[in-house]
Amino acid sequence: MVKICCIGAGYVGGPTMAVIALKCPSIEVAVVDISVSRITAWNSDQLPIYEPGLDDVVKQCRGKNLFFSTDVEKHVFEADIVFVSVNTPTKTQGLGAGKAADLTYWESAARMIADVSKSDKIVVEKSTVPVKTAEAIEKILTHNSKGIKFQILSNPEFLAEGTAIKDLFNPDRVLIGGRETPEGFKAVQALKSIYAHWVPEERILTTNLWSAELSKLAANAFLAQRISSVNAMSALCEATGANVQQVAYSVGTDSRIGPKFLNASVGFGGSCFQKDILNLVYICECNGLPEVAEYWKQVIKINDYQKSRFVNRVVASMFNTVSNKKIAILGFAFKKDTGDTRETPAIDVCQGLLGDKANLSIFDPQVTEDQIQRDLSMNKFDWDHPIHLQPTSPTTVKKVSVVWDAYEATKDAHGICILTEWDEFKNLDYQRIYENMQKPAFVFDGRNIVDADKLREIGFIVYSIGKPL
Ligand code: NAD
Ligand code: UGA
């Protein structure tokens, strides 16, 4: 029986390994993590992440050929293939701070693999890493390997949160990069044969190591670039009376462009787009390519601009002050169908409004009060570095309340900001909400999900992204 061990039981490691276990009953999969609370949750009825369809997959294989454990060394020792899916956040200190990827977690995982291994292994980069990371990992592994042979593969993950299970069941492609040597090709084939249990052969792409590593950064940069492009257009639409949804539709019907990923928004969030582009920018700078670095940096700059533009619009339209006004925040997660708040635009918007002394009442169906308070009191980039976590600041707590109902959040509010596109926000009883709000009652739809004309008929003043007033 082939044994797989995955280091890192997070948003990628957990779902990815659960699907491998489900699709490959003859393979034993152990997912390990240093976080005791995460592993306890994986072994309970309350999984540590909210992801549609995940419970079902885990229930089918947990205890059969899928195991979650904190005994990292034992499972690495026993494995034939070790996936590494640890976090690779942006560095907060030292060389490259604010841009470069922090490979501390990756390096410690690699050193541990080298220390405990007593048999040959395939080591798979599942985390998103800077191009050429495999070279560094190889050095660490071979330096300490006592004659043991390691093959490094790059197998970046392309799932999106909220649709992880769907994406894993039916991926556009699986990418595997390896060394172009006989041993490298053999390792690529071994990993390919696992995915071939359910992914059609033509969708399993194989490349050299550096192409696979770079393709992941490139894919995220291209995706984020589309959002910044449409968001940049949304500003021009607001200035001219064009409607960004009509523009995006017209542009997207060109089959060379395509219709997906052109929704204007309050800005993109999530744990990866910003960090991966900053990482790409840093790599370009290190390779003496400042023009290329500058090009990609613009994607982040437009995203920051979009978030601050949103805040400015709220404040400007509410008579230039939100001081002591109650503002309801509907949605805090970075997108619907996830409880993940990493780099959510809601943090910047809330902090911007708090900067103007607003009182916030926040509701998100999947995010806890603790998480929201922590997010609002944390420094930039600290969220993925557990050691930097600070206690919640009392000044933030006073101005922020977290409630468990959209009607409670909006009661007596002067304005509503919709920051996540949860389906339930489309069908709220807006007549009831209007009656319980201060007048004039404002709606700022950061996701363009409500029917603005209907809300205007009720009496709301509605601001959408990139649409005429
Ligand atoms: P995560 O923070 O949810 O999970 C990482 C886990 O690794 C944590 O539970 C942490 O405790 C554990 N860990 C760190 N160092 C460890 C060590 N030495 N030994 C054992 N466990 C260790 O992160 P994630 O969202 O799953 O992302 C993981 C990687 O995948 C990142 O590089 C990310 O860029 C990439 N990625 C993420 C997504 C996504 O949707 N979240 C999608 C594609 C790729
Ligand atoms: C993204 C990519 O889509 C995945 O392919 C990739 O694997 C992953 O990053 C990663 O490397 O972590 P994810 O961040 O989970 O996935 O979610 P997306 O659906 O890409 O959304 C990212 C952000 O962009 C969200 O805040 C979303 O609301 C926003 N978005 C998305 C828009 O504002 N407009 C759009 O048209 C699409």
Ligand 2 centroid to residue 270 C-alpha, Å: 7
Going by C-alpha positions, the residue among 345, 326, 316, 322 that lies closest to residue 419 is: 345
> Beta strand 415-418 with 326-330: parallel, antiparallel or unpaired?
parallel
Q: Which numbered ligand comes closest to the C-alpha of 383?
A: 1
From first to last of the 469 residues of the chain, give the pLDDT tens digit.
Answer: 899 999 999 999 999 999 999 999 999 999 999 999 999 999 999 999 999 999 999 999 999 999 999 999 999 999 999 999 999 999 999 999 999 999 999 999 999 999 999 999 999 999 999 999 999 999 999 887 688 999 999 999 999 999 999 999 999 999 999 999 999 999 999 999 999 999 999 999 999 999 999 999 999 999 999 999 999 999 999 999 999 999 999 999 999 999 999 999 999 999 999 999 999 999 999 999 999 999 999 999 999 999 999 999 999 999 999 999 999 999 999 999 999 999 999 999 999 999 999 999 999 999 999 999 999 998 666 666 654 444 444 444 579 999 999 999 999 999 999 999 999 999 999 999 999 999 999 999 999 999 999 999 999 999 999 999 8
Q: Length of the chain in residues, anyone?
A: 469
Ligand nearest to the CA of 42: 1
248 is in an annotated binding site: no
CA distance 417 to 370: 21
Expressed in angstroms and rounded, the spacing between residue 187 Cα and the centre of ligand 2 is 31
Return the ligand 2 atom nearest residue 158 CA: 7
Q: Kindly report the protein residue whose alpha carbon is nearest to atom 19 of ligand 2.
A: 160
Neighbouring-strand partners of residue 359: 326
Cβ of 329 closer than 6 Å to ligand 1, yes or no, is no
Nearest CA to ligand 2 atom 31: 261
- Say whether 177 counts as a known binding-site residue: no
Collect contacts of 131-138 with beta carbons under 8 A, ≥24 apart.
131/210, 131/213, 131/214, 131/217, 131/283, 132/210, 132/213, 133/103, 133/106, 133/213, 134/177, 134/209, 134/210, 134/213, 136/103, 136/107, 137/106, 137/110
Using an 8 Å Cβ cutoff, are 84 and 126 in contact? Answer: yes
Give ipTM to 2 decimals: 0.98
Q: Which of 273, 418, 448 to mutate to test the pocket of ligand 2 (most atoms within 8 A of CB)?
A: 273
- Residue 210 phi/psi, 5-degree rounding, is -75, -35
How many other CB atoms are found less than 10 A from the CB of residue 468?
Answer: 11
What is the C-alpha to C-alpha distance for residues 439 and 433, in angstroms, rounded to an integer?
12
Question: What's the CA-to-centroid distance between 220 and ligand 2, angstroms?
Answer: 8
Check if the beta carbon of residue 43 is closer than 8 Å to that of residue 63. Answer: no
What lies within 8 Å, CB to CB, of 462 at 6+ separation is 442, 443, 445, 450, 452, 455, 456, 469
Q: Which pTM value belongs to this model?
A: 0.95
447 labelled ligand-binding: no
Report which residue type is found at 278: L
Which DSSP string corresponds to 346-413?
A: HHHHHHHHHHTT-EEEEE-TT--HHHHHHHHTSPTTGGG-GGG--PPPHHHHHHEEE-S-HHHHHTT-
CB 396 within 8 A of CB 369: no
Is the minimum distance from the CB of 279 to ligand 1 under 6 angstroms?
no
d(CA 396, CA 127): 34
Known catalytic residues are 272
d(CA 425, CA 345): 17
Measuring from each residue's beta carbon to the nearest atom of ligand 2, which residues come in under 6 Å?
128, 157-161, 220, 223, 227, 261-263, 265, 268-273, 334-335
Instruction: Kindly state the DSSP code that residue 181 receives in the 8-state scheme.
Output: S
